[in-house]
Amino acid sequence: MTSKIWGGRFSSGPASIMEEINVSVGFDQRLAKQDLLGSRAHCSMLVARGIVSAEDGDAIQEGLTRIEKEISSGAFHFKRALEDVHMNIESRLADLIGAPAGRLHTARSRNDQVATDFRMWVRAACDTVDDEIRKLQSVLIDTAEQHAATIMPGFTHLQPAQPVTFGHHLLAYVEMFGRDRSRFVDARKRLNECPLGAGAIAGTSFPIDRALTAEKLNFDRPMANSMDAVSDRDFALDFLAAAGILAVHMSRLAEEMVNWSSPQFGFIRFTDAFSTGSSMMPQKRNPDAAELVRGKSGRIFGGLVALLTVMKGLPLTYSKDMQEDKETVFAVFDSIELCLAATTGMVVDMKPNAARMRAAADTDGLITATDLADWVTQKLNIPFREAHHITGKIVKLAEGKGVALGALSLAEMQMAEPRITEDVFKVLTPEASAASRTSFGGTAPDNVRQQAEAARKRFLTRGPTP
């Protein structure tokens, strides 16, 4: 098989196993749109610089238009024998227009070609992910606003800690996802330099205009070093790293949804749209969507580790190992897109049980112990550490009697600190506790309403900057 485009110096074709390991068109055909865009820009530049005639340039552009239509309609046949998307398009162009097709690859290598295509694809992926996260933030903000005053227990170490509101809890995820958006935006900014024209490694002797191709492809500038241009995959690692952190945040929210939807919590309920049954136990309502979002984080983390491992030992410049980059990034993007859609759907679908949350916030009546300590500090002008000690005595007394803090008598509290007054009981309800947390970023319902409105402006009207 000596008709390969790169095969002029080879007297025989590759072994079948070599062809099997070398072929990439099965996955890199996803770059077809970007490959056509890059080829159009490169052709226009070659004509503008007098490297290719206008007549040949027109023929190339017309051929690329026909190929684009074939791909869009599904009529284009990608051939494994041609290895990759680039050679498939170039071969088809030759079929359509003949000899002028051979001029398109002037002053271009597959090294800078694939680097350009892949950067454009990842750039578009960053935009897609940003838009999907924005949708998730939007439904979280709406739900948070509706539940700005819905009391629930806040947890540390998965132990009831202090009363918070469900709205406040959800807004925490809005902030996390805002940081995720900023990471994808930053990754996009860094990748937006154009490798096209770097050639295989050293540039080219043709009088090309790299700034022109960069502009046509909406890059900010050409990459400054030809060796870096063809060998860099930092942009893919940036994308995978941002995706990994995003997966952490989605997994944490999914874990909470799994817990909240269990009978032991009963904080939320999913409809049949996001629940599944058991093949054996008729009563089961399983939060499979949340569990799968949580589970898919593993493959997303794996994508980052896989590409880091590929890149860590590569000398400059291009090595065939780097063919492993695209399949990994494509798979991670698919998982992220699916998980974002599922998470957004679950937030819309879940039905919060405010009564159950409120009951859980006061299970043992001790969740307002911090409010008691704060009251002792503020009203009696006692150092907090001493107030903490006093409160500990009162908590121990309540535990011993099996009653809530608010169920103790004033006399019993005064056994720990004689100056405590009847006024202390005003702060010992979950509602009073939450309402008192008025510091910036605190859980007071009025704060939560303001935070929701501020988040809507920050994330939904002015873009992803947190």
Q: Which residues are catalytic?
A: 157, 278
Do the Cβ atoms of 23 and 83 come closer than 8 Å? yes
Beta pairing class for 193-194 and 351-352: unpaired
Do the Cβ atoms of 54 and 47 come closer than 8 Å? yes
72 burial type by CB count under 10 A (0-12 exposed, 13-18 middle, 19+ buried): exposed
Determine the Cα–Cα distance for residues 408 and 207; give it in Å rounded to an integer. 88
> For every residue of the chain, which 3-state class applies, written as one string?
CCCCCCCCCCCCCCCHHHHHHHCCHHHHHHHHHHHHHHHHHHHHHHHHCCCCCHHHHHHHHHHHHHHHHHHHHCCCCCCHHHCCHHHHHHHHHHHHHCHHHHHCCCCCCHHHHHHHHHHHHHHHHHHHHHHHHHHHHHHHHHHHHHCCCCEEEEEECCEEEEEEEHHHHHHHHHHHHHHHHHHHHHHHHHHCEECCCCCCCCCCCCCCCHHHHHHHCCCCEECCCHHHHHHCCHHHHHHHHHHHHHHHHHHHHHHHHHHHCCCCCCCEECCHHHCECCCCCCCCCECHHHHHHHHHHHHHHHHHHHHHHHHHCCCCCCCHHHHHHHHHHHHHHHHHHHHHHHHHHHHHHCEECHHHHHHHCCCCCCCCHHHHHHHHHHHHCCCHHHHHHHHHHHHHHHHHHCCCHHHCCHHHHHCCCCCCCHHHHHHCCHHHHHHHCCCCCCCCHHHHHHHHHHHHHHHHHCCCCC
Residues 331, 335, 340, 341, CA torsion sign: positive
